[in-house]
Amino acid sequence: MKKESFSQRQQIGMIFYAARKWRNHTQTSTARAMGITQSNLSKLEDGQMEPHITEWFKFCDFMHISPDTWREGVIDHLSPAILRSTPKEAGFSLPNKYLRNRGVKVRELLPFLVLLRDKLGDIGYYGFLKQMQMEPEFFLVLDNQINFEFKIDLIELMIKEQIFSRSHLKQEIKSVAKTATQPFCNGLLHTQYTSQASIQHLLQARIDNSTYYGCDFNYELETLKNKTVLRIHAAEHFSQFNFADHLEFQNIHNTYQKLYFETFLKAYGSFSTKITELKKPKSSRLEDLQWIYQFHAA
């Protein structure tokens, strides 16, 4: 089946909508700032019109986003995650099940969504997210937050719809891990990872930035002679998600997490690293929700 794609005009329209929703502005106030009618802004958001360059720059100035956003395809405000349960995420409405204890940033979810989009095409991807009662534009803002239950539902639905195929599972998870190291996924953080001199420094840079990916986990890094140990602990609220009850999801999450660090170290530091998994969760009890990895040069 042919995978249908959105036009560039439609993609830019989605950025108009996403940026406006993030700032919680109405079409009327945004159109006024741009010097256009509300009707024309509506057409821009729907992909029926292309913006004039002066309109685009006025829009970017009003929304405090980079004019290069149209090329990058995502919006990054680089705001740290703070656990929240408010009725809305910026101007976006969310299903009730994803509102409480929102600690996952879109930045963390984006690599999985890229695989989904590659497999389904733009129209299929849009429909998949609609099936989950989500606006696709929500996922254009790297700083938007949703709770961990969405990530569980997303991956379990990807398994059910054979986006993750059991016969090529590890290969597909590797693809997701590789995507996670691309500049557009890390946004404004990308340049912070490109000049680190050692495995320890690169891992520390990633951990220092952990709240830009979410706040469901806490990280501790310890260097012991020629080995580095990373401990990941679930935050107190995390036990509500019954992580250990979702075995297929747990397998993908654990496999991805290890492959992610391997790929991250190789992509940003050209470090060939052997990672030994010393511990992973065996139950949903908070004290058991931890992962321990040991890193050393291969």
Q: Residue 132 gets which letter from DSSP?
A: T
Instruction: State how far the Cα of 101 lies from the Cα of 241, in Å rounded to an integer.
Output: 10
Q: Give the number of other CB atoms < 10 A from CB of residue 220.
A: 12
pLDDT digits (tens, 9 = 90+) for 21-77: 999 999 999 999 999 999 999 999 999 999 999 999 999 999 999 999 988 899 999
Mean pLDDT of all residues in 89-104 = 96
Q: Which amino acid is at 256?
A: Y
Residues 6+ apart with CB under 8 A from 166: none
Mean pLDDT of all residues in 125-141 = 94
Give the three-class secondary structure for 297.
Answer: strand
What's the sign of the alpha-carbon dihedral 152, 153, 154, 157? Answer: positive
pTM of the model: 0.92
Instruction: State how far the Cα of 212 lies from the Cα of 103, in Å rounded to an integer.
Output: 10
